[in-house]
Structure 1
């Protein structure tokens, strides 16, 4: 038998052969990043871009595929880097064969994000070359080294963050911290102190004055938008939530509360509202105030009243976490409604309110769940009808209640006090128009406004004392409050107003169809037939 020599011929994959013929050079891009917006780092950014243009151009086997750069961005979170995301997308689209970057610390300081990106590119057949460490992620045994180095980079970033936080807290403690972004109404002076920015301070005074005169945050925001008042930090429009934050900010009384937010200790760093996790620092009389302390005190009293209406306990925690908690009653069985979130994570995810009895046993109560937005729409319908027809509803009701009173002398005094409250409120509104046109000095306006507010408050206290002793006090006082609220919020609502609901509704009764009845603070019940 003749032994023949075996011949082995390697047959290259067709795809690889075609690729070698069509694209003999690797399309290589560079990714560069600097972590701050300082002048020094901007220079570093410029030189990195120039360096990698030359670096890629010198290689005969590489073809320049562009520079992806994030300037003034942190490396701790990938999602905050626009060009990094664009580079990853271009890699998926087959536009890039290789990525070159300076080091692991320039690529990402978050180990999880770094390894996730490297593995994703590796599955696409795209390597990342780290110049400083001389590592190509496509080479054998390359996975362990990037993991170790990225972990070291993450620890370094966390240590740097901890040192930075320590320095800032030290400035908090000795009162030397300088606000980078002053509150609306203020700007930084030459030495970093807060000084009043008069054009914005005028808007702040308007917000506080209108709120003290009875307007809600929704109506105030709507008025600012209607008058084309420039928004805070170029937002699209004024929101009632922004107005609420302004009203609660002690900065406008001349005080400063530091560390209202804090960042988490480990990567990825997240900003959180400080609810007692870390110390806060309060500096009294830190700068010139825009409003008086009396105005601030009156605002706090109004806010405290609303917190009580929302069900806050002594520790400041919500007993009623949501607007409708403990307020909805089933018309069929008398049980309270509970909030439910259903179809979580699905396109039809929604919030609904269900009768507790129906949830336990459908045979004992047939009333089905009602969606959260339906109740809000029903409130809108009810409120807009009331605002449109309140003269035909509330005034006759008020007269009927007054006729049931027994003390005519007290009734006469109550009427006089109500008239006085209306006159003082009108004086405040006239005063607002006068100061807005620049006819009187702002200092005189604030002095007069404060005097009016004190007089209104004292008059209301006297009226309330008489109401307590004269029968039907809850119904009459509630009706008078509703009239005051409507006078200050006379416009038709376009969106649900949380504060308005809290101030005006005592209970909600839901029946079949569904039939939704709102018992107002004066015990008057108004029914809305949803869908009809």
Structure 2
């Protein structure tokens, strides 16, 4: 099991995964507080204020870790881990985090599906339900490697919201390397430069003809410039992210404003590709070795 990561509240010892009871009490408290109507940011703030080690890095990280814990199905026994809470407790807490499924939410859900692609075959990710009625995501192409195993609804949306929250907290993550202007002269430019040089050598200089030729050369040089709009797009995306707020669920309005698409790789890594080409891949940060 070396190299496998486990959520906060678990440890690997003597060949088995065990619950760390002291940490599990905090996990249960988080779920109970959420069921009782306390928001994730407030729960995180309380844990940070109490200087509980796992939540003591920063206030923002504490809030983020609480959100991740509340979305993690492994706490009620998924993936074979010993359950720290019941599935009923998990679902009660999740119900507090979900928006009502009205027509607007349905339209927003269609937006996520429209933006989601399998990186292996390029097909849209499909959204369906398992035999037990659990919503899940997988590639719509029958023989694609991303067809199975499927990604649960909570796992998929958790990845997207975590990535969006990361750029809300730190817009500089959207920075990309770019070249503002690239100039590569062609044969026509070199010809006009040679012609102007010859005109200036002939005395007396015909100022009117030289001026006309200089204007032609300027137009030719301009046509040889490639302008990269990426820095301007990046600045706009960062401003949008900076003005947004952390969200327990996917902020679909923000997603539509700053993201181009969502992709799933062959190893089931979920990434958001932003409108400036920046790629951010979901990494579970609520883990221990």
Shared fold, TM over 0.5: no
By relative contact order (CA 8 Å, sep 6+), the higher-ranking structure is 2
Taking structure 1 as the reference length, the TM-score comes to: 0.24
Largest Rg, 1 or 2: 1
TM-score (norm 2): 0.42
